[in-house]
Structure 1
Amino acid sequence: MATLRELKDRTGLSLAALAARTPYSKSAWHRYLTGTKRPPRSAVEALSRLAGADPVAVLALWAAAENPPAPVPPPRREKGRPRRRLPLWVLALLGTAAAVAAAVTVAGRQGAPAPAGQGLVAVPHCHARSCQGELPDASVCARDAQTRSTVTGAGYDVRLRWSPTCGTAWSEVRVRSAQAREVSVRAGQDVLSARYPADDATGIASPMLAVPSALGVEACAAVGGRLACTGLDVEPAAPE
């Protein structure tokens, strides 16, 4: 089955290694991957997690395969040419292999925007308190994020970001030259921060705080010994 084979290739594991890391034997994985036997839900979920893919997207397609659409009448075959019949669940999954491939690709890229039509990929794997402490670029929370407040410093901008889907807020800093930086977010007594060296060109965000709205949240960044903060109910602090 194309989808499971792609997930298996992403893990870089052999069948024996898959068997060692899951409750399923090497021969069972061989049957699942060749399409001779329908894989159980737990096997699909286990392989998705080993591959670093969003199991929600893959499991949705796995469940849809139980009730495949009515098959289109096949074209007339030439005489004397044998026709191989595949199980309906294999046909259903093969028909959506392209969509799953796109979902797996996007799930493996941090901070990548969801392509049009890939609604399944946009399902967050966390919400509110379960997102606390995670980086937004490693989840789908960044995809619907809104910039609620901004302050401009000397060589960088600080933004307060909020995701209505995930119910989280965080701070981002955009530097205009390579500099070490510390990004933090505060709501009441909750404070989370992250430090990035000058040679890290991708680290821009603090961890996420679980908040019902961006009101009362303060986003700060320290770059080159200068601090700038912004928030919806605080006066932006000018850089030192």
Structure 2
Amino acid sequence: MTDTAPPTAKPVCVRLAKELRVLRTQTGLSMATLAERTKYSKSSWERYLNGKQLAPRQAVEALCTMAHEPPGRLLALWELADLEWSGRAHRTVPPTAKEAATSSRGDRASNRKTSPDHAIPGPARRWGIQRHRRALAAACMVGLTAAIGVTALLRTTAEKPPKTASSAPPAPGCHARTCANHQPTAMGCAMPSHEKILRDQQISPGVRLEVVYSTQCRAAWAVVGNAHVGDVLTVSIPGSAPQQAKVSDKYDEESPLITPMTDGSDLTGLQTCFKPAGGHNECFLR
């Protein structure tokens, strides 16, 4: 089932592939590294991410784990994609309608041509009714499964529950130097309420650079929107290892280019450099 590309466009499968690409970007892993850390090859991951092949459930779970993402929402989406890919969500209903119409016509014809003394035996009629009920039950089960999946998906798609007076944001997964080399989203540091924009400027037509500092995590990172394959973004602070992000393939182009975090205990000398593919390196202090 998962080895053959779908014959027509399947919107739920397309949505799942897009969500998986977002997760892959969130992990900060290249396709090669992703293959090394899972039992799926690089070429398999490429098919999963571009929607040419339905990712196995275990692959979705593995990617969620590496991205520190609760798997419930993606697994609910996977259940719907699995039904859509296989065609099970629509396969049962047409035969049921046809059988019902055929059975109805047959009953009417029998009633016209057969006297009460020569009616169709009871067991035969019961078999036809039972077959019809089994078909309806199968169709209802498929519909119910899809409905449950849709309900679960809609319930969790928002990602963030409504805030209440007693709710508090979850604690981040790192602080200061322990944030180095980690992605801000994965560690819970990309919280708008705790973010301070240190730099926000357009560095070329359609390309904007932001340098972000998390007051909660005491860490900094850089972001560039609309980056292209080959573009490199680096953020560094004297005394710490530079943190770099690169647009490796077409999937990276679909999301902002975000560097791993650097220790923001002391922002003195914070420098961000952007080097477009085939262009010159341009650096900015703070």
Q: Give the structure-2-normalised TM-score.
A: 0.39
Q: Say which structure is richer in strand.
A: 1
Q: Say which structure is richer in helix.
A: 2
Q: Give the structure-1-normalised TM-score.
A: 0.46
Bigger radius of gyration among the two: 2
